[in-house]
């Protein structure tokens, strides 16, 4: 029995195999997903050859302490922003042995949204040591907390694969 939907498990298994073949390591920095991305990856047998570490940085303080996100960035743009996601992914790459890192920050709901930053807004960033940087702003909508989080995991796994292509 898997903890994740079949599609996520299949996607994670493909990603683990791809990284293992290329001898690449990865790290995650997660806010709104609370470790689900790392959880999906480590659900796959043999993932220890690929997954270096995961940072769960749910609070702003954790983002600053563990990933080096600047207080000024959080003050100016907020935790759920492109700028914060990019600083999170750079911090994860810098503070790990990973070749590729992924960061997510968003509003899973059901509360916490605003007109400017609605429930379902998630910023994702992937970076590789080769210099590749990818950002996506996803607006999943108010589809439910669990659905936003699982949709974010799927998008994150896609982005990790895309970033790995540039690292090979």
Per-residue pLDDT, 168: 57
Query: Helix, strand or coil for residue 119?
Result: coil
- What is the CB neighbour count within 10 angstroms for residue 85? 28
Paired sense of beta strands 26-30 and 100-106, if any: parallel
pLDDT tens by residue, 52-86: 999 999 999 999 999 999 999 999 999 999 999 99
Per-residue pLDDT, 160: 97
CA atoms of 163 and 18, how far apart (whole Å) = 12
Q: What is the pTM of this model?
A: 0.96
Q: What is the largest CA-CA distance in the chain?
A: 44
Which of 106, 109, 104, 105 minimizes the C-alpha distance to 143? 109
- Domain borders along the chain are 6-167
CATH topology of domain 6-167: Maf protein (3.90.950)
Residues β-bridged to residue 55: 29
pLDDT (tens place) for every residue of the chain, 168 residues total:
778 999 999 999 999 999 999 999 999 999 999 999 999 999 999 999 999 999 999 999 999 999 999 999 999 999 999 999 999 999 999 999 999 999 999 999 999 999 999 999 999 999 999 999 999 999 999 999 999 999 999 999 999 999 998 765
């Amino acid at each position: 029995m898997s903890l994740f939907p079949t599609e996520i498990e299949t996607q994670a298994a493909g990603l683990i195999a791809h990284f293992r073949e290329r001898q690449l390591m990865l790290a995650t920095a997660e806010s709104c997903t609370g470790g689900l991305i790392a959880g999906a990856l480590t659900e796959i047998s043999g993932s220890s050859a690929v997954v270096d570490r995961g940072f769960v940085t749910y609070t702003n303080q954790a983002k600053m302490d563990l990933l080096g996100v600047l207080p000024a960035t959080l003050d100016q743009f907020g935790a759920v922003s492109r700028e914060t996601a990019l600083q999170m992914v750079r911090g994860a790459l810098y503070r790990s042995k990973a070749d590729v890192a992924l960061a997510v920050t968003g509003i899973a709901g059901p509360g916490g949204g605003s007109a400017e930053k609605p429930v379902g807004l998630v910023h994702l960033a992937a970076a590789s040591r080769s210099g590749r940087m990818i950002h996506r702003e996803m607006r999943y909508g108010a589809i439910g907390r669990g659905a936003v989080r699982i949709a974010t995991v799927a998008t994150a796994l896609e982005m990790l694969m895309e970033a790995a292509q540039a690292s090979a």
